[in-house]
Amino acid sequence: MKITEYCSLARYNTFGIDVTADCMVEWASADELIALLPELKRPLLMIGSGSNLLFTGNFHGTVLHSTVDGIDVIAEQGSQITVRVGSGVKWDDFVAYAVLNGWWGIENLTGIPGEVGAAAVQNIGAYGVEVKDVIDTVQTIRLSDCTRCDFSNAECGYGYRQSIFKNELKGQYAVTHVIFRLSLTPQPKLEYGALEHEVARLGGPALANIRSAVRTIRESKLPDPAVLGNAGSFFMNPVIPAAQFERLKSEFPDVVSFPADNGMVKVSAGWLIDRAGWKGRSIGPAAVYERQALVLVNRGGATGSDIIRLADAIIKDIEEKFGITLKTEVNYI
Ligand code: EPU
């Protein structure tokens, strides 16, 4: 366990915004957290590696960061393997481990920053796969009374970049472990965009090829936060009713979209922002990334307010041009 008072959060958010927390606790096990909880200054904020956070000022409470480690096989039945992973494990280290061991299901989620606990809260997704597709159970501690609570996949209330832990139960549970169900037999999912082509170029749908192909495609579009502060997609792709989509398409025939559940349509926010002329534009030190309009970047020294000023200008403009209100994927703190 590590406790730091007046801790800079600059290395705990991928935008690199320099604010402080009154107290930062890095906890390595459920027992450690339970022992400490009654003593901690409130409010509490649980973070992973801060790849979906935007700090708008100093945090006057305790930030909790899991360093719970371990990737353990707990069962193998037929072609399925069940693996329990600590919430503090780096997401991409887990993907690398799975690929090395021949476990299928998360290879399309290669290269996503962040940690396993936050991945389960955020329901990370890319290239046609969401992490909810392979989650069996999320193991947590309820902060109000220190009890251990397991949530089955169905109890997590998963949707597109949504879970119960971001909504009804926001801030109430700390994730200690996530139990995944992966496949020992090949299950390639290559339908999204340029993936199939890139995998074929590398020699076909082996796990290692899919991992390299995803990495190549991501690197061509998404900036490395270590070089240019960012939090991946800043906005979610809006999901709108089919009738509204038909009206949009009649005015903008080249609008990019994907089918969503219940006859709704997911519209590419990147396309909307790009089409509205924002790609590469900046307001002060906050900018729209020139290769992916859905990504906002800190060109150096930006505050949370600088990023929000740019985000608000984009939201207003998209509303005026397309009648669609963008929602942020990034959480403001
Ligand atoms: N597009 C443009 N201009 C742009 C960006 C996109 O026209 O500046 C159009 C293009 O037609 C492109 C299409 O939108 O082909 C889709 O773009 P992309 O494949 O980059 O995906 P996205 O919908 O913008 C989503 C996720 C990403 C994920 C990719 C790949 C969300 C909010 N974002 O982005 O996730 O990596 O799909 O699956 O759903 C993240 O959540 O942080 C993230 C990076």
CB atoms within 10 A of CB 102: 15
Task: Give residue-wise pLDDT tens across range 111-133.
Answer: 999 999 999 999 999 999 999 99
Residue with tokens 């290692």: 208
| Catalytic residue list contains 251 | no
DSSP 16-64: ----EEEEEEEE-SHHHHHHHGGGSPSSEEEESSSTTEE--S-EEEEEE
Active site residue 161: yes
Q: Mean per-residue pLDDT for 39-64?
A: 95
0.85 surpassed by pTM: yes
Mutate to test the pocket of ligand 1, among 268, 290, 331 (most ligand atoms within 8 A of CB): 268
215 pLDDT more than 90 = yes
Phi-psi sector, 106: left (phi>0), alpha (psi -120 to 50), beta: alpha
pLDDT tens for 9-24 read 999 999 999 999 999 9
pLDDT digits (tens, 9 = 90+) for 223-271: 999 999 999 999 999 999 999 999 999 999 999 999 998 899 999 999 9
pLDDT at 1: 87
The Cα 254–Cα 312 span in angstroms is 25
Which of 26, 32, 161, 215 is labelled catalytic? 161
pLDDT of 193 reads 85
Helix ranges (DSSP H) in 102-241: 116-122, 195-201, 207-221
Q: For residues 245 and 265, what is the distance between their CA atoms, to the nearest angstrom? A: 7
pLDDT at 94 over 90: yes
Active site residue 218: no
**Mean pLDDT (whole number) for 278-307:** 97
Q: Residues, the chain, total? A: 333
Cα angle at 227 between 202 and 283, to 5 degrees? Answer: 115
Which residue's CA is the closest to the ligand 1 atom numbered 3?
A: 271
